Amino acid sequence: ACALVGIDIPRFCYHDRLSIAGNCRMCLVEVEKSMKPVASCAMPVMKGMRVKTNSELTRKVREGIMEFLLTNHPLDCPICDQGGECDLQDQSMVFGGDRGRLVATYDGKRAVEDKNIGPLVKTVMTRCIHCTRCVRFANEIAAFPDFGTTGRGSDLQDVNEEWIGDHTRFSYDGLRTQRLMTPMMKDQTGVLRPASWEETLFVVAQKLRETPAEQKAAVVGGLNDVESLVALKDLFNRFNSENVCTEEEFPATSDLRC
């Protein structure tokens, strides 16, 4: 609602295509008659409510949240792959302080072992800010509940609106390897053997001439285009046959030529 009226509220965990998590707490705002700041991403809009998005309290809260996020986060922005294109970097410049009050009493910051989640995704877990976007994406979009967090979270509904999973994206390569590029014909013993296109088309034409019209039929898959259907229909009409079956249902008065 704030974005619709041009009010920018910082956030890390919120995404308009994912479920509400409220993990980062950067979107805390001050609501009238509320005892403490509330997460705006999880607060439904109500009639007559008064919200302060840039009050002294909200600025102080955001500065404190950013300070906690940067306590163990590596400050290697000049050599980071996302340097200059990082939401954490941008929001720390706008909403963070010029120095941190939290001083580590040990050498080095928190180090987290990188997770191996396959050859397509690289993980640098020391830069994780616990926004749980990857967890929600895996559960809600990719439909594989392999990620999770301890201590919070609930069962999520499976949805798929704009993204596709690895199986859908790369399954075409597997189908391509199974596709026949050379015609196959049965020999006298009934075994399939490779044949030339000329030989195959000659045998098909001969079989079509010998078969009665009422016994001719064609079954078409659902992935064929309309132009191919029209060409096949014209071919069988020349054989005085109307037996063209498809996996799709068309209205009785429809014409494939339209």
Query: Are 115 and 123 contacting, i.e. CB atoms less than 8 angstroms apart?
Result: yes
Residue 205 lies in a domain: yes
Residue 206 lies in a domain: yes
Residue 221 lies in a domain: yes
Residue 208 lies in a domain: yes
Distances (CA, A) of 101 to 60, 63, 64, 70, 92: 14, 11, 10, 11, 15
Domain, as residue range, for 235: 184-246
The pLDDT of residue 258 is: 42
Residue 202 reports pLDDT greater than 50 = yes
Write down the pTM of the prediction: 0.54
Name the residue type at position 130.
Answer: H
Q: Is 12 exposed, middle or buried (0-12, 13-18, 19+ CB in 10 A)?
A: buried
The pLDDT of residue 106 is: 57
The predicted-structure confidence for 101-156, as pLDDT tens digits, reads as follows 776 555 667 777 787 777 888 888 888 888 888 888 888 888 777 777 765 433 33
State the average pLDDT over residues 169-181: 71
The pLDDT of residue 176 is: 67
Question: In the chain, how many domains are there?
Answer: 1
Top-confidence residue, 22 or 107: 22
Q: Could you tell me what percent of the chain has a pLDDT over 70?
A: 82
| Pairing of the two strands 218-220 and 244-246 | parallel
3-state secondary structure of 206: helix
Chain centre to alpha carbon of residue 25: 25
Residue 252 reports pLDDT greater than 60 = no
State the average pLDDT over residues 6-21: 88
Q: Which of 162, 154, 161 is nearest to 42 (CA)?
A: 154
DSSP calls for 75-109:
--GGGSTTTTS-HHHHHHHHHS-SS-S---SSSS-
Query: Are 63 and 95 contacting, i.e. CB atoms less than 8 angstroms apart?
Result: yes
Query: Are 140 and 18 contacting, i.e. CB atoms less than 8 angstroms apart?
Result: yes
Q: Which of 161, 15, 170, 172 is nearest to 27 (CA)?
A: 15
Residue 85 lies in a domain: no
Residue 224 lies in a domain: yes
Residue 133 lies in a domain: no
Query: Are 165 and 141 contacting, i.e. CB atoms less than 8 angstroms apart?
Result: yes
Residue 232 lies in a domain: yes
Helices (H), the chain: 56-69, 87-95, 133-140, 166-178, 197-210, 226-238
Asked whether the CA dihedral 63, 66, 72, 74 is positive or negative, the reply is negative
**Residue 156 and residue 141: Cα distance in Å, rounded?**
10
Query: Are 51 and 29 contacting, i.e. CB atoms less than 8 angstroms apart?
Result: yes
Q: Which residues of 25-36 are buried (b: 16+ CB within 10 A; e: fewer)?
A: bbbbbbbeeeee
The pLDDT of residue 199 is: 92
